[in-house]
Amino acid sequence: MQDKYVKCPTCGAKVKWGPESKWRPFCSERCRLIDLGEWFDEKKRLPGEERPGGEQGEEPDG
Could you please state the CATH topology (level 3) that the domain comprising 5-40 is classified under.
Answer: Erythroid Transcription Factor GATA-1; Chain A (3.30.50)
What pLDDT does 45 receive? 87
The tens place of each residue's pLDDT in the chain, 62 residues long, gives 789 999 999 999 999 999 999 999 999 999 999 999 999 999 998 888 877 766 655 555 55
Q: So where are the chain's domains?
A: 5-40
Distance CA 34, CA 10 (A): 7
What pLDDT is attached to residue 24? 93
Task: Check if the beta carbon of residue 44 is closer than 8 Å to that of residue 38.
Answer: yes
CB 24 within 8 A of CB 7: no
